[in-house]
């Protein structure tokens, strides 16, 4: 099992890689190298390019897959003419964050620019550029690195590269345990433009229909689900609620293990559990609360009209992150534990039904 320091190194490396919807190559390369050093794991891709990592050997139970996505909101340069460039923004960010904002190429050593226009109806615009900027470059907001704070990890792309790091760390911890050999990982593409990778896997059934899904995310922190209060068993997202039975099993196992956690409706955004659940997969969701979601600094204050929008690094709690790894491991074993609610309700009815006579 990897040390805490090694896992945090994976977290730092993954969350600083250049990535955009449909252009997740740097992350895919990192993951392929990670798997190649572990001969008891198997890596494959489905027809949409989603990565599937499974453990070799005989499985006792139906599959459990922890799903995280490999993309993050970013600019993709589509044309360059002199000192002017056109771009497509792949992801969801308020238009106010684009006004005269500065960007920098992150896919290689390259140039910078200042946005001169943005059309939210098409997610396209133009920029005045400096330096070596080329068609196909990935760019992000130009952001200052924040000052270190206790327990806070800040990076350009926690969403959802921190989720990717967490599920790989959980898989690494479960290797060599035959009773958990049914656990695997799916890393999806193009989540930020509409859950497309997850929809591809769910709609085309590129994974077995009896697979239990654990959707792993970094979800916008809420007053009721703050950073640092533990990882979250997510009862639902902005669109829907998730599987009652699977969620209850995980909750009871986390409580029995004494793991510090939260159980909350995280409706600050959507997640891939919605896609898998809609197509019939039994699905639960786990996450860590995220600060400055999609690099939107001052987000709460901006939405209240109290501060100007400023692009910033995303932030999570390291204790939440390590708790999420623990929670994924607990969840992988908990999916086979029978939910005792029905039995306890039946016993309650039998002992008290005489009041209805």
Q: Across residues 276-299, what is the average pLDDT?
A: 96
Q: Across residues 159-188, what is the average pLDDT?
A: 96
pTM of structure: 0.95
Pairing mode, if any, of strands 74-81 and 310-311? unpaired
4-72+147-341 CATH fold: Aminopeptidase (3.40.630)
Percent over 70 (pLDDT), the chain: 100
Model pLDDT, residue 312: 96
User: Of the candidates 255, 98, 96, 34, which has an alpha carbon nearest to the alpha carbon of residue 88?
Assistant: 98
Per-domain boundaries in the chain = 4-72+147-341, 74-141
Per-residue b or e along 236-275, where b marks 16 or more CB atoms closer than 10 Å to that residue's CB: bbeeeebbeebbbbbbebbeeeebebbbbbbbbbbbbbbb
Find the radius of gyration of the CA atoms of the chain. 21
Model pLDDT, residue 283: 97
C-alpha to C-alpha distance for 209 and 227, rounded to whole angstroms: 34
Task: Assess whether pLDDT exceeds 80 at residue 339.
Answer: no
Model pLDDT, residue 1: 76
Do 331 and 251 meet the contact criterion of CB atoms below 8 Å apart?
no
Query: Is CATH 2.40.10 what the domain over 74-141 is classified as, yes or no?
Result: yes
The per-residue pLDDT of the chain, averaged, comes to 96
List, for residues 103-146, the tens digit of each pLDDT value: 999 998 789 999 999 999 999 999 999 999 999 999 999 998 88
Percent over 90 (pLDDT), the chain: 92
Model pLDDT, residue 337: 85
Q: How many residues does the chain have?
A: 357
Model pLDDT, residue 144: 84
Task: Assess whether pLDDT exceeds 90 at residue 314.
Answer: yes
Q: CA 61 → CA 124, 154, 305, 316, 337, distances in Å?
A: 47, 38, 52, 33, 12
Model pLDDT, residue 60: 87
- With vertex at residue 277, the alpha carbon angle to CA 335 and CA 315, rounded to the nearest 5 degrees, is 80
Domains 4-72+147-341 and 74-141 share a fold: no
Model pLDDT, residue 110: 81
Task: Assess whether pLDDT exceeds 80 at residue 229.
Answer: yes
pLDDT grade, residue 340 (50/70/90)?
confident
- With vertex at residue 104, the alpha carbon angle to CA 98 and CA 105, rounded to the nearest 5 degrees, is 125
Q: Across residues 242-271, what is the average pLDDT?
A: 95
Q: Across residues 21-46, what is the average pLDDT?
A: 98
Model pLDDT, residue 190: 98
Q: Across residues 176-198, what is the average pLDDT?
A: 96
Strand partners, 291: 315
Task: Assess whether pLDDT exceeds 90 at residue 336.
Answer: no
C-alpha to C-alpha distance for 163 and 67, rounded to whole angstroms: 8
């Amino acid at each position: 099992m990897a040390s805490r320091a090694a896992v945090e190194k994976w977290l730092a490396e993954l969350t600083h890689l250049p990535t955009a919807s449909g252009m997740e190559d740097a992350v895919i390369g990192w993951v392929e190298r990670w798997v190649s050093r572990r001969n008891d794991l198997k890596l494959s891709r489905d027809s949409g390019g989603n990565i599937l990592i499974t453990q070799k050997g005989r499985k006792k139970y139906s599959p459990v897959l922890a799903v995280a996505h490999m993309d993050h909101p970013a600019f993709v340069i589509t044309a360059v003419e002199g000192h002017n460039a056109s771009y497509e923004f792949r992801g969801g960010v308020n238009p106010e964050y684009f006004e005269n904002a500065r960007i920098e190429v992150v896919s290689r050593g390259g140039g910078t620019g200042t946005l001169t226009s943005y059309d939210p109806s098409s997610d396209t615009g133009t920029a005045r550029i400096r330096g070596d900027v080329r068609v196909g470059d990935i760019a992000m907001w130009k952001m200052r690195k924040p000052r270190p704070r206790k327990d806070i990890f800040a990076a350009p792309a926690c969403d959802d590269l921190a989720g990717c790091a967490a599920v790989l760390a959980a898989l690494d911890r479960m290797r060599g345990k035959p009773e958990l050999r049914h656990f695997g990982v799916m890393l999806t593409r193009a989540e930020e433009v509409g859950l497309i990778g997850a929809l591809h896997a769910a709609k085309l059934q590129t994974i077995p229909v009896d697979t239990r899904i654990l959707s792993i995310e970094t979800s916008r922190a809420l007053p009721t689900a703050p950073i640092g209060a533990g990882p979250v068993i997510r009862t639902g997202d902005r669109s829907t609620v998730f599987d009652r039975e699977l969620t209850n099993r995980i909750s009871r196992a986390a409580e029995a293990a004494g793991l510090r956690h939260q159980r909350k409706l995280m409706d600050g955004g959507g997640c891939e559990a919605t896609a898998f659940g809609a197509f019939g997969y039994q699905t639960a969701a786990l996450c860590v609360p995220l600060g400055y979601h999609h690099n939107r600094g001052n987000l709460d204050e901006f939405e209240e009209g109290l501060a100007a929008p400023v692009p910033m690094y995303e932030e999570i709690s390291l204790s939440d992150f390590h708790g999420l790894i623990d929670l994924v491991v607990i969840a992988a074993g908990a999916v086979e534990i029978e939910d005792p609610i029905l039995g306890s309700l039946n016993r309650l009815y039998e002992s008290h039904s005489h009041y209805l006579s």
